[in-house]
């Protein structure tokens, strides 16, 4: 799950994980560069570098729900684990740390960081498939949702091969990158993009799809987030935009409902309606652009009070209804 900053990609990733965790399926939700966003969203203690069960899935119509596990991946831990796993570098790993190599590799060496982060996701996917392999806690996952870096960086992040090209042309780290790429380019992966119906995010989404495609990475769908309520429709929306709403009907209905009505209240409501209608028109124009992208689209409402756990389940239900999970 990727998306421009401010579009709510982490929220959508969490909602998708909950939605997928229906009908007894187990889902792993990973974050790779967050500030413990998952922990904050699900209101649990900060996550360690270890898979943790954090929530029960959305109960499906047919039977019991699965669980959502979470994993916070940081490059340092991934590197040390990688060294221990593949090279049995217990002592040498420490020596590397002492000479500042771990720090170097994870913060400065170009591309290495991303190889490590994606490599860990790959490991999780692998342990989910094969029974009895090394995954901690032995959890088996039916799906992995990755809260990935933003749209502007997603292709570079997933395309670890290219990032290493010219640097490591051979050797184990290159081989590791190749293996990871094979999974990312396979039909088992889908890169979803989160956007809001505003010009820049929509433009960036369209650019992002182009970049993913030219890197042979499988594009999933576009999730349109924070969509305004649509209580006003059709002719009424047009009338609101032209400031031609029927003030008498409004006044009458308000009075019948026991509201103290004066001109300023009706002025206020019609002004809000006009403002809303203008934004809806802009949203519609952007929606057309999204639909022209020729990928499946899903829409999630803006929740006025902010997204809490209840809100996450609501969003998950909306994604499931629309067939995303």
Partner 1 sequence: MSRKRTRVGPLATPESTADPLDVDALLDDQNTRIIVCCGSGGVGKTTTSASLALRAAERGRKVVVLTIDPARRLAQAMGIEALENTPRPVEGVNGGPGSLDAMMLDMKRTFDEVVEGQASPEKAKQILENPFYVALSSSFAGTQEYMAMEKLGQLHRDAVETGDYDLIVVDTPPSRSALDFLDAPERLSSFLDGKFIRLLTAPARGPARLMTAGFSMMTNALTKILGATVLQDMQTFVAAFDTLFGGFRARAQKTYALLQAEGTAFLVVAAPEPDALREAEYFVERLTGEDMPLAGLVVNRASTAPAGSLDADEAMAAASRIDRTGAGDPEQTPGLTVALLRLHADRIRIVEREAVLRRRFAAAHPAVPTAVVPALSTDVHDLAGLRRVGELLAAQR
Of 271, 291, 309, 321, the one binding partner 1 by CB under 8 A: 271
Nearest approach in angstroms of CB 252 to partner 1 is 7
Binding of partner 1 by 89 (CB under 8 A)? yes
Structure tokens at 58: 């959305």
Applying CB under 8 A, does 179 fall inside the site for partner 1? no
User: In the set 46, 50, 85, 104, which binds partner 1 (CB under 8 A)?
Assistant: 104
Nearer to partner 1, 237 or 293 (CB): 237
User: Nearer Cβ to partner 1, position 16 or 226?
Assistant: 226
Q: Which residue stretch of 81-89, 117-125, 130-138, 183-191 sits at the interface with partner 1 (rule: CB under 8 A)?
A: 81-89
Among 43, 199, 216, 244, binds partner 1 (CB under 8 A): 199
249 touches partner 1 by CB under 8 A: yes
134 touching partner 1, by CB under 8 A: no
Q: How many residues bind partner 1 (CB under 8 A)?
A: 81
Residues 144-163 that bind partner 1 (CB under 8 A): 149-150, 152-153, 156, 163
């Amino acid at each position: 799950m990727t998306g421009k900053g401010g579009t709510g990609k982490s929220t959508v990733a969490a909602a998708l994980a909950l939605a997928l965790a229906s009908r007894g399926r187990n889902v792993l939700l990973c974050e790779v560069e967050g500030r413990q966003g998952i922990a904050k969203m699900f209101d649990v203690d900060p996550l360690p570098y270890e898979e943790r069960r954090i929530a029960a899935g959305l109960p499906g119509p047919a039977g019991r729900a699965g669980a959502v596990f979470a994993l916070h991946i940081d490059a340092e831990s991934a590197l040390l684990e990688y060294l221990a796993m593949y090279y049995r570098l217990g002592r040498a790993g420490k020596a590397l740390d002492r000479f500042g190599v771990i720090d170097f590799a994870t913060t400065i060496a170009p591309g290495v960081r991303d190889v490590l982060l994606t490599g860990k996701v790959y490991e999780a996917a692998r342990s989910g498939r094969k029974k009895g392999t090394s995954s901690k806690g032995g959890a088996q996952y039916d799906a992995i949702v990755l809260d990935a870096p933003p749209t502007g960086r997603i292709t570079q992040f997933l395309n670890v091969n290219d990032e290493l090209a010219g640097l490591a042309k051979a050797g184990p780290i290159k081989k590791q990158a190749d293996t990871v790429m094979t999974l990312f380019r396979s039909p088992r992966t889908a890169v979803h993009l989160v956007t809001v119906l505003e010009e820049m995010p929509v433009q960036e989404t369209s650019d992002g799809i182009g970049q993913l495609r030219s890197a042979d990475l499988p594009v999933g769908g576009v999730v349109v987030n924070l969509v305004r309520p649509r209580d006003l429709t059709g002719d009424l929306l047009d009338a609101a935009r032209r400031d031609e709403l029927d003030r008498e009907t409004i006044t009458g209905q308000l009075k019948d409902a026991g509201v103290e009505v004066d001109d300023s209240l009706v002025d206020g409501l019609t002004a809000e309606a006009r403002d809303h209608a203008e934004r809806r028109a802009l949203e519609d124009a952007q929606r057309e652009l999204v639909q022209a992208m020729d990928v499946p689209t899903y829409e999630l409402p803006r929740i006025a009070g902010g997204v809490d756990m209840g809100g996450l389940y609501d969003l998950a239900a909306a994604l499931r209804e629309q067939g995303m999970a």
